Amino acid sequence: MQERKGIITFQGNPLTLVGPEIKVKQAAPDFEILSGDLKKLTLKDFCGKVKVICTVPSLDTPVCDFEIKRFNEEAVKFSKKIVVLFVSMDLPFAQSRFCQNFRVDHVSTFSDHAWASLGLAYGVLIKELRLLTRAIFIVDDQDVVCYVDYVKEITQQPNFTKALEVIRAFV
């Protein structure tokens, strides 16, 4: 499997991403993730929808907490054809508890802990930590990637302005 060194940092220290770099206009790679009820889902389960795929290290960190809450607030303005998927290595039970405690109900959380399938397919698996890096992928309803943001320093927020601009084009 391809390794990409120094693409991202954690508190200024370079880390290694495992998997290919995803680029705009390429076909979205398939993946297997777990829902809160432990159901295995793939890209096909979101067929016909615009998919905003946000990968984060853990919902139990301040930066990830802010990011999911921000997207949850914005998602109420999106059309029904847009789904926002937050994927981390957190266990599905912890993700469900987080969403319930903070009333996160306009985005969905999924776990990649079982297979690291999405992490490997989208090149966001951090080799040294076995966590996902912070990134956003927007995939259109034909499963073509139309936006990519690998956040260089994982303790920083993604570019909400650019991501929301792309999402609003689908509203």
Return the active site residues.
Answer: 64
Residue 153 DSSP code: B
For residue 148, count other CB atoms closer than 10 A to its CB. Answer: 17
Q: Are 67 and 156 in contact, with CB atoms under 8 Å apart?
A: no
Report phi then psi at 77, rounded to 5. Answer: -90, -10
Q: Are 8 and 154 in contact, with CB atoms under 8 Å apart?
A: yes
